[in-house]
Structure 1
Amino acid sequence: MADGENEVVRSVVSAILRDRDRLIAELSAVMRAQVAALDSDARLRGLFEAGTTDNLMSVLDFVQNDAAEHDVHAPARALVYARTLAQRDVPLSALIRAYRVGHAGFLDIAMRYAVESGGPDSAAAIIRIVNRSAVYIDRVCEHVGVAYEQERDRWVGSRGGLRQEWVARVLDGTADDIGRAEQVLRYPLTGRHVAVNAWTDPQISARAAMNVLDAVRAALVALFGNPRRALLVPTDEHEVRLWFSISRDMTIDIDAIQRAVAALSSPVRVAIGGCGDGVAGFRRSLRQADRVRELVLLAGPDAPRAVSHDQVAAVALLGGDIEELRHYVADYLGELATDNQRNLWLRETLRAFLANNRSYAATAQELSVHRNTIQYRVGQALELIGNVLDDHDRTLHLHLALQAARWLGPAVLRPGPPG
């Protein structure tokens, strides 16, 4: 590179690095918006953004140096993401399109910075950035494509892949012979079911994740019954779907599940659907478990390690549009929707007060505090939101807003002041 061209390229790289976090968030949002297949799973968004970050850093390095084309290799976390998509049956074309969309977004940003730097060498710098980044993207797409295809062949050829294929057919209604499906899956589809989603931190190794998820299955079998009436289907190397065929009179004891999961001392979370009968119940219970899982992911690290649909059914439905839910919570909680410790106490006290039919004594017993404290906190809470307890409709909305704040916390609350 000529000195002037080199100076402009390095200026562009420095500007992108300066604004890196914002630009990565923008690029990731554009790619997910234009490639809908990649935006269906909140748990994988962190891995997606990690791959985006690593690719951005690598392409910036390649643009400003003279490394040969064969020296370009896809970042490790980008390969992990490609293999995970293969396990989840997301088309390779969606991943490649995301790279193309991301490349276009990168060029738009880089050329804007190059033009802003001014000078006669901007055009030469732009040409270099276009050419070098195109070489990088072509090589990386080739590498992630190979990783995807190899993982897809391995996954489909495994027992887990076969189970996944048959379960997918049962779920989408293309399995005409349910008896044959039961034989392959070794699971009774015509009984009563409860579905469970279980997942681990994606940063732990695949082997460690497998051990943790096997331990979850064993712990839940002890609660739900016969291990021969349990079905485990890997979603990817860090997540599984489980179904348990249960007796008609069995109810879900979430406290027992909480204790069982906590006893594992492993980084795992569990979302439990409701009980359902037959093939329709098999499907419905999973849909419910999936909604609970999305809610737990929205809630972040402070969410309980095990959550059931029965606990959060209304909030799970409201959480389908998180932005609208934030407005809903703000409308009905007023100043109580601000995220701070004092408001947390007041919200929980008011929620328990409503759940206990407005009994100060029962609320005091549930929260293990003095009755006078309950009266004071309820009064403080009602001052912040306005006394709405004489309006049955507004009281219902208040209770739902309190439940949403309880389960989703910062995801639906206004940030409090620092400190």
Structure 2
Amino acid sequence: MTETTVHPAVRSLAEALLDELPVLTAGMAEAIRTGDPVYADVPDLEQSCADHLSYVLGELAGLPRDTKSARRVGRRRAEAGVPLATVLRGSRRAARYILDVLLHHGGSTMSKTVLMSTAATAWEIFEEYSEALSSAYVSSAGERLRRDTETRAATAGALLTGELDADRLREAATALRLPLTGPFVVVVADGADSPAPRFSRRRVAAAWQPGVDLHTGVVVPPHHDLDLVTDLLDGLRAGVSAPFADLADAAPAAAEARLAWRIAAPGTVVRRDRAPLLRLLADAPSAAAYRDEVLGGLLALPDRERAPLLDTVRVWFDTGGSAAQTAAALFVHRNTVGYRVQQLERLSGRNLTHAAQAAELHVALTAHRLLTP
């Protein structure tokens, strides 16, 4: 904007109004607080109003403009967590207040044409100020969100590894917006994307420690509904701990959830409350020896031969021993499934149609999945 766009009478009025800055500042602050209760507790509102008035009136008076004050206000409001919509409403109220002041003081001495031109010019200045304010707000809010996200992740990590004493546990619960008493479960899920948005969309309280491809979270199942937790993990490979009541027990629950995740097949969820075999094998020092005794012949095969057989027997058990469903799941012919089952039976010395021997093979396979990194 050049000096010629401002009428000389308007420039003189703006210079005079700058001399009344303290009075105008108090009036603008009162107008904003009256219009929006959120600003009742904003301690620097008067300074912000003074900056806004100085910018607009200074521009009309032909003084050099500087959007530093607008950017400073935007950053402060973002750091204080004031919503951007509220900030912009306050800015619009400030603009209306300045227009009212200009029209009130210039109405008796300026023509309608000059007044209309002044209003248009002032509004351009308001928009420039608001744009600088909004830009700084968005930038600062993004930085604040990044810091908050990193802090929450670090706090969740300390909770899940048992690093917090009683006092720090209370602080962590407050920071993570979690209660101190549950029920809780810990979820471990893999995938490039965190499952956190699935839970937040359903308003399920949770705190997550994200990873590159493994995400761990403390979840508060609403109304003890573990089925909802399972549903929200649909399509992911995930493990869910048994429910626990004390947030201080998150670390052992996380270890339990990781074990459940390790035996979960791709795209499936294993819940500790539905997998009692998990605790038996996790606590048994002889699990590795038992696995090697039953599966030694199979595990000795080269990977290219071993992997298809392991996949086949896993799906075989998942489908209740259905050759047709196993073939469909693996995209192979039923005869291929039959051939692989015969190989498994020969290598393990167990007959899959014999209940006790099939159970031995199932336990050994579960131990293998549990013990394989």
TM-score scaled to structure 1, two decimals? 0.39
User: Higher Cα Rg: structure 1 or 2?
Assistant: 2
TM-score scaled to structure 2, two decimals? 0.43
Higher relative contact order, structure no. (Cα contacts within 8 Å, ≥ 6 residues apart):
1
